[in-house]
Structure 1
């Protein structure tokens, strides 16, 4: 497969690379975008609190004599990289060239953790191992599928000499990196000297993408990061407010966009909202949502590390920010369905996205699903279009449509319908590819295909609460408006982005000469 990213000039800034996503998607290869990261193999340095996770499982057949507590007879022990080390392992699994810079003990746990990192292909040259330090461990004790207890072993303070040794490693560790990820879990190892060393390197080497994943993102404002990734609680702490999980937390943090950006001094804030996905808040009102595909309760850990790793790898490889965010959400969805601390590989992510290739629902099946959603009190939003070559205008529009209700249904024109609308040389992507790409977006719940010239027949059956349409229309111009209003729904006209169009993307692709040759 020709790597579309390699057709871009090497010195193109990430912000100017929106065409990279378009070039991949025009071939109907949304599921192959993760391979672009591995092909580019960006260099990423992870600086942070490395931990060892343990999962000890066994059986319970009796209670102990000393107290009314169950006795777990441990039959199996598994270990995994945790914290910043888990971020590093996930980056390596996606094809990045990774250096781990952190502080661990010269103890059994530290040696085991270094071995896990080495086996994953992470460069541990800058992983400082000090006999005066205890490696942070988090051991879960399980009986069956139930976590009975978690044992955390953390240090009570770090020697100044050990922190100084870590700070001394920073210049060499981050030099030449395409991205630097700071994973600060509040151990104290990254305070003072280490933070100052990173801030100096950010000034000297501004070309790297800097991502901060910290309990206190505001504490890293001097770094002027490109992206910070607080969770809901951490964002609330920065803002000095309380976020109620029963309310629209995305709207609450979006309303304080300016305050979050100012407090963190970041170019972009991505607030992770666990089961509610994420919200991206950028300058000039930029906003993008992702929507999680939550699992039934499993004993999963580290999905946030996977999210940060995937987001960083994609940005370091030059993928657009919104594409990177959607990929990161997909990667988190992969690991949250697995027990224990796990990683998402390129193959895992590709397979996850490819499963959406045949997800267009027949009308009868769609109606059954929507009926169940409506019975649960959910508002149904319907929109339609060709969506031939997915671009940023499309994703912005679909995110806006999702926010009009609870369930977003996207109806795609079949191939004959696209030809009638766009001409004999369209569609570029056949319906199977178009459906797979749209279904893989986290904001989309259901995809269906229609063959009629208008959507009126489907509207009559589906009876949406909201019919969303993008473009320079008014509700009065749409043939579907009377049908929507007759079933008690309303029409919503969303933003029109004239500089983002399929025709413009196709024109740009056709004007781009192939790598190493003439057009």
Structure 2
């Protein structure tokens, strides 16, 4: 295994403490790809000239594949039909080294297959085959649990309402002796409340269902404020609200934290939730706390959203991703990572800004900042603080997009988002060796200067690149008639 230079990642990938049990609804995802260059004469529909077909595990099967790809020993419990699709799915799982002895083959229930037809990377159509398991089939799945739970390092339930992880499985889990952490990824999370899961992963829609209200336009803040209510309603020790491009909000011991996602096209998000749940569960099995486990899950999910299709994150993918570009971290994760960098003798450079519309002035000064040390940390004002600083109508781009774009720059090592008007409190926490600021400032003009110097750091003012500014770009766009006045 290649070291990733991230202590958390290395710890999780080195774990060999026992199998992870995955219980849930097994699917086969079938992808049909081709070109669509004309419209059918029979109906107003594109004609797809098929060039490729691929079958991959989906649902709980995809979650199991992700765990195996990250080096875990995996046991799988679920059901497939005694049909060609079921045979294909089991063959794919067996080839990945997953223990499928707990998978029931059903003679009278077809394997659930989701078929997508795409052209030029765009899904044009999806059609689903399959049906919910009846009580007898669900009981057969639940009967496999007692032996499978024995010796497991963690249990992950993937309940998508198709019956393989329904009432029978919940009853069975409630009767077995369980010492391993239980993670539940379910559409109906309240049904699992009596088992008091160690962690649950509701998405935005599922969170709204739990709360009985919409998260609203500021769903990050709404999710942060709802932690106690979510934990009380679900009986879960830890609640990780997953918000796709906005990352996650993590509620567990201590104050809530966030993970930051690298934005990606929605078309590439298929299976990202499975990858996140797999990474989270593996990290919990390795003894990582909830907040660190969520960060590991986010790192894995960020890998799979880069490409279309049902995604699997491998060890090689993850370590390569960490070496390719910046990592987007919340404050606690950033503090932990920088402690490791500092212990390795690295010189830490810190800068901040709104970075609403990235331009040459930004990139020039960020390159200069990176040259002042070994590690460059960029802190980005969140949307509310940007509005306070820049006025109504700003930012033009949300914080996730602004941070994500910065994370793609080769000169940037870590990106974080902060909510205050100045980064003074963040500087006090991370104590950078250098605070870099672009523009026509003097050190004595900055409220950050005494804080930086009090911790033994220095303030460096970088070259001003004129006439490059976000305000100037917006003004020119308005004058050209390409932006609203």
Say yes or no: TM over 0.5: yes
- Name the counterpart of 2:391: none
Change over 3 Å in CA distance of 1:34–1:401 after alignment to 2: farther
Residue pair 2:104, 2:140 contacting (<8 A) in 1 also = yes
Report the alpha carbon displacement of residue 208 of structure 1 after superposing the two structures with TM: 0.2
Residue pair 2:380, 2:415 contacting (<8 A) in 1 also = no
Distance 1:475 1:62 in 2: 62
- Does 2:273 align with 1:288? no
Change over 3 Å in CA distance of 1:67–1:344 after alignment to 2: same
Residue pair 1:145, 1:299 contacting (<8 A) in 2 also = no
- Name the counterpart of 2:319: 350
- Name the counterpart of 2:161: 186
Distance 1:340 1:441 in 2: 28
Residue pair 1:133, 1:158 contacting (<8 A) in 2 also = yes
TM-score, normalised on structure 1? Answer: 0.66
- Does 2:197 align with 1:222? no
Change over 3 Å in CA distance of 1:338–1:208 after alignment to 2: same
- Name the counterpart of 2:152: 177
Unaligned runs of 5+ in 2: 329-340, 342-350, 361-368, 387-398, 404-409, 419-426, 462-485
Report the alpha carbon displacement of residue 95 of structure 1 after superposing the two structures with TM: 0.7
Residue pair 2:20, 2:152 contacting (<8 A) in 1 also = yes
Distance 2:446 2:81 in 1: 58
Match of 2:88 among 112, 120, 131: 112
- Name the counterpart of 1:439: 413
Distance 2:436 2:34 in 1: 58
Relative contact order (C-alpha < 8 Å, sep 6+): which is higher?
A: 1
Residue pair 1:92, 1:98 contacting (<8 A) in 2 also = yes
Distance 1:404 1:40 in 2: 44
Report the alpha carbon displacement of residue 401 of structure 1 after superposing the two structures with TM: 9.2
TM-score, normalised on structure 2? Answer: 0.71
Distance 1:45 1:58 in 2: 37
- Name the counterpart of 1:253: 223
Report the alpha carbon displacement of residue 478 of structure 1 after superposing the two structures with TM: 9.1
Report the alpha carbon displacement of residue 241 of structure 1 after superposing the two structures with TM: 0.5
Alpha-carbon RMSD: 4.5
1:53-88 deviations in whole A, cap 9, x for unaligned? 011012234443432222223221011110110000
Tell me the number of residue pairs that the alignment of Structure 1 and Structure 2 aligns: 399
SS in 2 for 1:341: coil
Distance 2:126 2:446 in 1: 47
Match of 1:199 among 174, 178, 181: 174
- Does 2:273 align with 1:304? yes
Unaligned runs of 5+ in 1: 4-23, 361-365, 376-383, 410-435, 485-519
Residue pair 1:64, 1:71 contacting (<8 A) in 2 also = yes
- Name the counterpart of 1:324: 293
Match of 2:212 among 197, 219, 240: 240
SS in 1 for 2:101: coil
Distance 1:466 1:186 in 2: 56
Report the alpha carbon displacement of residue 114 of structure 1 after superposing the two structures with TM: 0.6
SS in 2 for 1:176: coil
Distance 2:448 2:165 in 1: 48
- Does 2:178 align with 1:211? no
